[in-house]
A and B are shown apart, each in its own frame.
Chain A
Amino acid sequence: MRITDTNNRKSSHPKVMVIVLSDGPYISQYADIGYKMAQKALELGYGVKIFLYMDGVHIPQKDQNPRTLPNISQSFEELIEKGCEIKACIRCAAARGYMEESQYLEGVEITSVYDLAEWMDENSKVVMLGS
């Protein structure tokens, strides 16, 4: 069964799903769940913004090589190509040694939690995923 939301596609200001991820990849399923939710929302014509908080900043790091699991960084690369905006918390990134933008997938912005606050407007809905 295919579910579509044509009303949102027609709108000049599509509604936005804001996903906050606070777990790192592989330790839990949340990064993968966030990816699948974002993928489907983009397909339905919604805007999607992902804010990486706490251990979530591990997710878009380059050169990941999980031998037996799907590579989450490749999944997030696909989301960026489809127009998903991804930002990482600078406080969390600094604490974990990820201050060089070259460490991240192209398109990921290191920013502050104030940007998350600005994303949470009347046109968006926030979903927090993390343990």
Chain B
Amino acid sequence: MSSLLVIIDKAPYGHENALSGIYIAIASLDRGMDSDVLLMGDGVYAAQKNQSADKTIGYPSVSELIYSIFPNGTLFVHLDSLTQRGMKYEDLVEIAELIDGKTLHELSKSKKHIIKI
């Protein structure tokens, strides 16, 4: 079985990337790949809970869409990126899992494909 890590490093709504990255993860999970999503840098904002983009700017809520990867895929959030932005684990959607630098290294080594979007 092939494997994929989708790394998102842009905030949602300012760019299409977060939404598009999640779609790649959903499609690859549907095709039986071992796929996960990693949010780094400004990408961590995609995991902030209680987003209301659908009601305010008419854009699909990334924090709701991201639940589509669960439970076969994991949503990793880079701990340092989160801390640097003054955010806490409690601010995130329930499926988020924090990841430190060492574990991130192991995760990326374990994946056949990596897409940074």
Contacts and interface: CB of A to CB of B under 8 A. Distances in A.
A118 B31 contact: yes
Given A120-B113, A121-B2, A114 B17 contact: no
Interface in B1-55: 2, 4, 16-17, 20, 23-24, 27-28, 30-31, 33
A114 B115 contact: no
Contact residue range for chain A? 20 to 34
What does DSSP make chain B's interface, helix, strand, loop or mixed?
mixed
A117 B27 contact: yes
A120 B23 contact: no
B98 interface: no
B95 interface: no
Given A54-B16, A117-B27, A117-B31, A130 B117 contact: yes
Contact of B20 (A22, A118, A120, A126): A22
What does DSSP make chain A's interface, helix, strand, loop or mixed?
mixed
A125 interface: yes
A89 to B, nearest CB: 8
Contacts of A118: 31
A15 interface: no
A117 B30 CA distance: 9
B23 A20 contact: no
Given A54-B17, A122-B2, A117 B24 contact: yes
Nearest to B28: A117
Contacts of B2: 120-122
Interface of A: 20, 22, 53-54, 91-92, 112-114, 116-118, 120-122, 124-126, 128, 130
The 7 closest A-B pairs by CB, nearest first: A117-B28, A117-B31, A117-B27, A113-B27, A126-B113, A114-B27, A128-B115
17 contacts: A20-B115, A22-B17, A53-B20, A91-B23, A113-B24, A114-B30, A117-B4, A117-B30, A117-B33, A118-B31, A120-B4, A120-B33, A120-B112, A125-B113, A126-B113, A126-B115, A128-B115
